[in-house]
């Protein structure tokens, strides 16, 4: 328990807000940027899918994970000298409690913008009432045993869209979801097992096999699906042919190659030279397009991300 307490304190130092014993949220850079710019600056999710950046609730129901990805911008136990391999927490927060506390905390965190003259009053009032939930802040959300109920509760409390972002190591959970998210993300951070071990640093023995099973499950979802490639120079920005084979077999709605960003915990483990440029990501995406039936349908240079799909344009969810 002392180990968990130390890890929680580290999250608090970095501006995360706990909305339960092990659930937490943190409004992202783009939410604040959108408010301050009166909507002129916004996240790629707004550009691609119509998700308003100032109305996004970014949170996680757990701080546990099956990976310690070397590029992750979240703080990890090993970053602060803690040995912690537990996948299960002593208790779990109730789904409704997470949603209600999240809505309350979001308002509290953003209340400081009331005194900022650059912020549009109407936009701020909208930001107090988020309509999009991104279950993607820290940890692996499919380790939370009530993830199905959590998705249900979010829709019950009038969220228009819910994105579930998973590292794919729990295909048993993904395969048994009764309540689908609005969009499912599965991270593919390596083209092969050897790269996976170096980049994702798995804490479980069968992580790669599980990810491949989750990739196979993509076809069973009725909601839009995304394979996210978080790319690091000199580590996994390579073997595009192997990525292409996995992608073509999975047949997702979208593929999002994105640069790993030199932020937060990333800086504990890697230097800024490992962060790919937008031009590198675009070139990598062009090669994927050449090797698959996907085409580039949008880009966001500020987020260093490219969107590929068989569709002519992305589905606007809001």
pLDDT tens for each residue of 172-220:
999 999 999 999 999 999 999 999 999 999 999 999 999 999 999 999 9
CA distances to 6, 38, 165 from 169, in Å: 26, 39, 12
Q: Is 67 within 8 Å of 201 (Cβ atoms)?
A: yes
**Angle (CA) 185 225 176, round 5°:** 80
- Please report the pLDDT score of residue 89 as a whole number: 75
φ and ψ of 291, to 5 deg: -95, -5
**pLDDT at residue 66 in the model:** 94
Per-residue pLDDT of the chain (318 residues; tens, 9 = 90+): 677 888 899 899 989 999 999 999 999 999 999 999 999 999 999 999 999 999 999 999 999 999 999 999 888 888 888 776 666 677 899 999 999 999 999 999 999 999 999 999 999 999 999 999 999 999 999 999 999 999 999 999 999 999 999 999 999 999 999 999 999 999 999 999 999 999 999 999 999 999 999 999 999 999 999 999 999 999 999 999 999 999 999 999 999 999 999 888 888 899 999 999 999 999 999 999 999 999 999 999 999 999 999 999 999 999
Residue 294, both tokens: 């996907």
Burial classification of residue 302, based on how many CB atoms lie within 10 Å of its CB (0-12 exposed, 13-18 middle, 19 or more buried)? middle
| Predicted local confidence at residue 77, as pLDDT | 81
Residue 305 pairs in a beta bridge with 258, 300
Residue 300's contacts (CB-CB under 8 Å, 6 or more residues apart) are 44, 47, 48
Token representation of residue 304: 């260093």
Please tell me the pTM assigned to this model. 0.95
C-alpha distances out from residue 93 to 98, 102, 184, Å: 7, 12, 22
Q: Using one digit for the tens of pLDDT, what is the confidence trace for 273-293?
A: 999 999 999 999 999 999 999
Domains of the chain (ranges; CATH) run 2-309 (3.20.20.70)
Rounded CA separation 207/188 (Å): 11
What token pair was written down for 22?
Answer: 């092990």
């Amino acid at each position: 328990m002392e180990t968990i307490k130390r890890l929680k304190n580290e999250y608090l130092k970095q501006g995360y807000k706990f909305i339960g014993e092990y659930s937490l949220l943190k409004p992202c850079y783009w939410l604040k940027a959108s408010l301050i710019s009166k909507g002129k600056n916004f996240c790629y999710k707004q550009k691609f899918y119509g998700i308003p950046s100032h109305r996004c609730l970014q949170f996680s129901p757990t701080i546990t994970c099956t990976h310690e990805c070397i590029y992750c911008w979240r703080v990890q136990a090993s970053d602060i000298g803690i040995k912690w391999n537990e996948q299960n927490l002593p208790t779990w927060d109730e789904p409704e409690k997470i949603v209600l506390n999240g809505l309350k905390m979001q308002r509290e965190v953003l209340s400081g913008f009331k005194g900022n003259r650059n912020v549009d009053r109407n936009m701020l009032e909208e930001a107090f009432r988020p309509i999009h939930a991104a279950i993607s802040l820290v940890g692996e959300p499919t380790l939370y045993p009530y993830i199905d109920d959590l998705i249900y509760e979010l829709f019950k409390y009038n969220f228009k869209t819910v994105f579930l972002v998973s590292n794919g190591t729990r295909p048993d959970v993904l395969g048994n979801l009764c309540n689908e998210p609005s969009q499912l993300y599965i991270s593919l951070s390596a083209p092969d097992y050897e790269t996976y071990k170096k980049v994702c640093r798995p804490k479980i023995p069968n992580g790669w096999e599980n990810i491949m099973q989750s990739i196979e499950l993509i076809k069973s979802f009725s909601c839009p699906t995304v394979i996210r490639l978080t790319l690091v120079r000199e580590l996994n920005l390579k073997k595009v042919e192997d990525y292409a084979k996995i992608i073509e077999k999975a047949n997702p709605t979208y593929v999002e190659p994105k640069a790993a960003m030199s932020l937060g915990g990333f800086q504990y483990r890697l230097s800024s030279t490992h962060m790919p440029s937008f031009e590198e990501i675009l070139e990598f995406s062009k090669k994927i397009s050449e090797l698959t039936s996907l085409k580039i349908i949008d880009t966001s240079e500020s987020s260093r991300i490219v969107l590929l799909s068989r569709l002519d344009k992305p589905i606007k969810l809001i």
